[in-house]
Structure 1
Amino acid sequence: MKLNMKMTLAALLLSSQVVVAQQSNATEKLDPIVQSIVNETNNNSQLENLAFELLDVIGPRLVGTPEMEQANDWTIDKFKSWGIDAKKQQFGEWASWQRGITQVEMTSPRVKSLESMQLAWSPATKKAIEAEVVVLPNVNNPAEFTNWLKSIKGKIVLMSQYQRTGRPDYQVKEFALPENYEAYKKQKEEDTEAFKTLVKNTGYDNTTLPEALEKAGAAGIAISNWTGIMGANRIFGAKTKNIPMIDIALEDYGMLYRLAKNGKAPKVKINTQSKSLGTAKSFNTIATIPGKEKPNEYVILSAHLDSWDGAQGATDNGTGTITMMEAARILKKYYPNNKRTIIIGLWGSEEQGLNGSRGFVYDNPEIIKNTQAAFNQDNGTGRVVSIQGQGFVDSYDYLTRWMAALPKKVSKNIETSFPGMPGGGGSDHASFVAAGIPGISLSSNSWGYGGYTWHTNRDTYDKIMFDEVRNNVIAAAVMAYMASEDPELVSRKKRVLPDGQKWPEVKEPKRKGTN
């Protein structure tokens, strides 16, 4: 009897909560098209399937790889299935490389598989190589280092700083005694400075040192580019031409370092089977929904399709890509009489310097001249929490007008800043800002983006928070709708920048790249 009463009370409470929620929603009167956007986003979302096809089936999308062009082709096919015309637009070409297996194991003083990954564009080993591991020496000057280089022929060199602990700072701060935490911070600072001095004394830096090691006959180079978060390492490009360059997880790297430092002469076997495929064309995917009243004026939905390839590129920038694709699908369905042409630009080679979006701006001056705004989403899986005017004097007027159409559930979380400062290169909105176009960054909540997923081996599908991404679909679609409906092209008047700063300039993209 008591159980039934509890169940009844719980049911009544749940029912009352639903009624309150329905009444709350009913009190907010949305534009009919906005309401359709919200309903479709929440009740018929395609985001999970888009993420599956992009991230699980295609995977990482390093510029120049077959997977990057596969992603271009997939996005075009998907747009066309929604009745949206799309094509590839070439902006350059890149060294074509395809990741293969990475197998690394310690063979002495005991056998252990190591968590590791070859760096992008790393040469393959062809067949497995086995060699002793050594660490960089403490030298006082370049002459001493040059002498040491004579001893590394046929050996694998550990090139990164040794970390005393793999625990993140916040965990040490939470659990250690205050005096121990202060001692830990002091030791960490000293270790960092000591390693900087060590590298400086070699006469090289982290960019030129691999070339010197390779020239001296090293069999391979291993680093551990740790982010400071347990398990997360950044995976960038190799700096060698003929020998493998790999990243090893902090735990395994530390073990090798200690063994080598203590005279145990550890040996490692490396087998990397990547492929160099010559040169490949580099493309943007450009999808277009023609305007019905002002077809020669444009609103752009922007995200970069490429990624680094240490993982799937889920939050950088799979989430931005699927956000803009889903927004386009919904706009095509519920905004059939779009006033201006809506362009969806999915850019290539953002990671090497905004090359795709810069190419689009540089190669399409007539479109850029008549662009109302470009809305860009890049930085992770979180809901949009910040919009600023990018240095345009009148941005307060039009952005607040467009944002007024957003559901309160979306807009209440967004902080604004006007007129703000022009973006200088952090993501693709900066390419449009440089051209004097309101390139609006839909900046999102972190969810650990900077330390955990940005360019790391942990940027995977499971890190996506789809409720947050649905929020961003609504934000992007509604803002594009409002910008399209605005009677006139908005003001592009630029603010006077402080301290003699200059407005960013339009830059031609890198048309040919290696790594």
Structure 2
Amino acid sequence: MKLVFPSQLTILASSLLIVSHTALAAPANDPATLAQIRDSAMKQDWAYDRLADMTDLIGPRLSGSAGAAAAVEQVADAMRKIGAKVTLQPVKVPHWVRGEEKAQLVDYTGRPAGITQKVVLSALGGSGATPADGLTAPVIVVRDFDELTARKAEVKGAIVLFDVAFDDEMAKGGQAGRAYGRGSNYRTNGPRLAQELGAVGALVRSVGGADFRLTHTGATILVDGKRIPAAAVTAEDAMLIARLSKRGPVKMHLTLTPQNLPDADSYNVIADLPGTDKPEEVVIVSGHLDSWDLATGAHDDGAGVAAAMAVIDTLKKLNLKPRRTIRVIAWMNEENGTRGGRGYFDMNQQKMEQHFAAIESDNGAGRPLGFMGSVRPSMVKYFAPLQKSLDQIGAGVFDRRDAAAGSDIAPLERAGVPSFQPLVDFTTYFNYHHTPADTLDKVDPVELKRQVAVMTSLTWYLANMDENIGRTVVPQ
């Protein structure tokens, strides 16, 4: 029998205590903690309440507007109340103001005497203006850029209508983003190309589904000195004009009086939950605060901002402290300039190595299926515990992509920061996108909870990973 002296007993007891504490101290990304985060998020209405505040109390939030300024203060105040460290980063933003917008078909083959037909439209962001009393010109209908070029002799002095239908079947088949990209190309570039060929105005068939005579606005690329009036017309009115054009010449009287005012002062709202042992390393989780002026931007992108805000709220309620700093950002000016995202990058471009990862939610509040991310293929295996946890709410898919960034974090991704976003079903997202119908009632509170669960779990997981997921390489 080996004798043990009192001093040795003390050392032995201390050693056992250390071993015991080590065994009981679970890692930050253990299954129990991930389940706790997921389940807590699924029980909370905090994000939906913040979304209701933003949409019902403020309304539209186009950059430079009073609504955008009110939203900055509202979000900053909400984040201060839950104990986040809030910073307002100044950003100069475009200040475009919608004016009068109306149109009538005043002449076409077979028109009964005294009859004109109203056309429902909304000016595109960045549009130029007609004279105050409008202009009258023939309408030329084209279905792609090749036809525009082929008919350039007819374009000079005319209003060009790009009649490109949104592909609902493609959207229903899970490719809504591709359908939108095809249509938005004509909205973004069509007016500029028409102007270069001498057009006096440009119209674009609204880019979106659910044809209920809704206009879908958005930005177009026109520059000072070359801005022609440009608007989105409803799908029904585009089809009407196309049918009448088959009968013979069509003339329109168009009145658009938007103004491109000097840049305005605004802010990105930045709210930090400081890290414990790696506070200099940052994980961004974000959405964009501005919306178009036609509606309240509940899906685009109030839901994304509210879900990002709820990441810190959820962790605070659980008294969970991340190793890396979690940074919530409500970006300003995604819709018509991306000045907020670019401004943040410019200010932090010497600190890209300290940005461990970035997340942006900007695809609405549809059913979350998981998340996508721009990590190298060899890194996917390290996310298996997170996927397993999210499988419990049907959101365990990890869609690895070479590029996965939303508009505001794209500069970070190009600089090597691995980027993520929730993978959501947005089959019907473009029914409301950029329209007067993008309102709170279109957001399912349960799906918003799922998005908070996905975003909080993903943010926490990234903030506590032991593995270095490295830098991403985005194809140029």
TM class by shorter-chain length?
0.7 to 0.9
2:211 alignment partner in structure 1: 230
CA distance in 1, matches of 2:252, 2:338: 41
**Whole-angstrom distance in 2 between the partners of 1:106 and 1:346:** 42
Change (3 A) 1:104 1:372: same
Return the letter of the residue paired with 2:203. Answer: A
CA distance 1:354–1:127, shift in 2 (3 Å): closer
Looking at structure 2, the residues matched to 33 and 141 of structure 1 have their Cα atoms a distance apart, in angstroms, of: 55
Pairing 1:413–2:418 present: no
Choose from 332, 335, 355 the match for 1:348.
Answer: 332
Gaps of 5+ in 1: 1-28, 172-191, 193-198, 496-501, 506-515
TM-score, normalization: structure 1?
Answer: 0.68
* 2:365/2:424 contact within 8 Å kept: yes
Report the secondary structure of 1:395's partner residue: helix
- Judging changes above 3 Å, is the alpha-carbon distance between structure 1 residues 267 and 385 closer, same or farther for their aligned structure 2 residues? closer
Aligned AA for 2:101?
T
Please state how far the C-alpha of 1:468 moved relative to its aligned partner.
1.1
Quick check: 2:218–2:434 contact (8 Å CA) kept in 1? yes
Contact 1:66 1:96 in 2 (8 A): no
State yes or no: 1:327 paired with 2:326.
no
2:54 aligns to what? 54
1:381 is displaced (CA, Å) by: 1.7
Task: Sort the Cα spacing of 1:55 and 1:447 in 2 relative to 1 into closer, same or farther, 3 A.
Answer: farther
Corresponding position of 1:246: 231
Counterpart residue number, 1:19: none
- For 1:161, the equivalent position in structure 2 comes to 163
SS state of the match for residue 491, structure 1? coil
Counterpart-to-counterpart distance in 2, 1:265 and 1:437: 52
* Residues 440/424 of structure 1: CA separation in 2 closer, same or farther (3 Å cut): closer
Secondary structure of 2:232's counterpart equals strand
Say yes or no: does 1:371 pair with 2:350: no
- Distance in 2 (CA, whole Å) between partners of 1:494 and 1:162 is 39
Q: CA contact under 8 A between 1:104 and 1:268: conserved in structure 2?
A: yes
Q: Does residue 95 of the first structure (1) align with residue 94 of the second (2)?
A: yes
**Separation in 1, partners of 2:151, 2:272:** 61
Structure 1 residues 437 and 259: alpha-carbon distance in aligned structure 2, compared to 1, 3 A threshold? closer
Residue pair 2:355, 2:417 contacting (<8 A) in 1 also = yes
- Please state how far the C-alpha of 1:223 moved relative to its aligned partner: 3.1
Q: Secondary structure at the match of 1:207?
A: helix
Q: What secondary structure, in the 3-state scheme, does the structure 2 residue paired with 1:342 have?
A: strand
Paired AA for residue 119 in structure 1: L
Give per-residue Cα distances to partners, 1:200-247, cap 9 Å, x unaligned: xxxx96532134445xxx4x4433234464246542335485653222
Question: Residues 265-319 of structure 1, C-alpha deviation per residue, up to 9 Å, x if partnerless?
Answer: 655353x453332112453221112234443233321223334555443323222
Residues 87 and 132 of structure 1, relative CA distance in 2, 3 Å threshold: same
Instruction: For residues 96-140 of structure 1, give each alpha carbon's deviation from its aligned partner in whole angstroms, at most 9, with x where no partner exists.
Output: 212245344456752554321111122345734263543359999
Residue 360 (str. 1) matches residue 344 (str. 2): yes
Matched to 1:481, the amino acid is W
Q: 1:185 aligns to what?
A: none
CA distance in 1, matches of 2:397, 2:327: 26
> TM-score by structure 2 length?
0.72
- Which residue identity lines up with residue 222 of structure 1 in the other structure? L
Give the CA RMSD over aligned residues: 4.2
Cα drift, residue 392 of structure 1: 2.8
Q: 1:157-179 CA distances to partner (integer Å, 9 max, x unpaired)?
A: 2422387xx995589xxxxxxxx
Q: Which runs of 5+ in 2 are unaligned?
A: 1-29, 108-113, 172-181
Structure 2 equivalent of residue 301 of structure 1: 285
Secondary structure class of the residue paired with 2:162? coil
Q: Secondary structure at the match of 1:208?
A: helix
Partner residue in 1 for 2:420? 440
Q: Identify which range, 387-396 or 277-286, moves more after superposition.
A: 387-396
* 1:422-449 deviation digits (Å, cap 9, x = unpaired): 3165544544433333322222122323
Asked if the contact 2:360/2:405 (under 8 Å) is kept, the reply is: no
Question: Could you tell me whether the CA contact under 8 Å between 2:290 and 2:334 is conserved in 1?
Answer: yes
Q: Structure 1 CA distance, aligned partners of 2:392 and 2:77?
A: 33
The answer for the alignment partner of 2:20 in structure 1 is none
Change (3 A) 1:388 1:113: closer
Aligned ranges 1:250-265 → 2 under 5 Å: 250-259=235-244, 262-263=247-248
**Paired amino acid for 1:47:** A
Which residue is equivalent to 1:23?
Answer: none
| 2:267 is aligned with 1:268 | no
Q: How far has the Cα of 1:467 moved from its partner? A: 1.2
User: Structure 1 residues 106 and 403, CA, compared in 2 at 3 Å: closer, same or farther?
Assistant: same
Q: CA deviation at 1:320?
A: 1.3
Q: Which letter maps to 1:476? A: M
Structure 2 match to 1:290: 274
**Residue 328 of structure 1, CA deviation:** 2.1
Structure 1 residue 379, shift from structure 2 partner? 1.8
- Pick the aligned partner of 2:128 from 117, 123, 128: 123
Mapped to 1, the partners of 2:358 and 2:218 lie a distance apart of 29
Percent of residue pairs bearing the same amino acid type: 24
Change (3 A) 1:161 1:407: closer
Are residues 123 and 371 of structure 1, via their aligned partners in 2, closer, same or farther at CA, if it must alter by over 3 Å?
closer
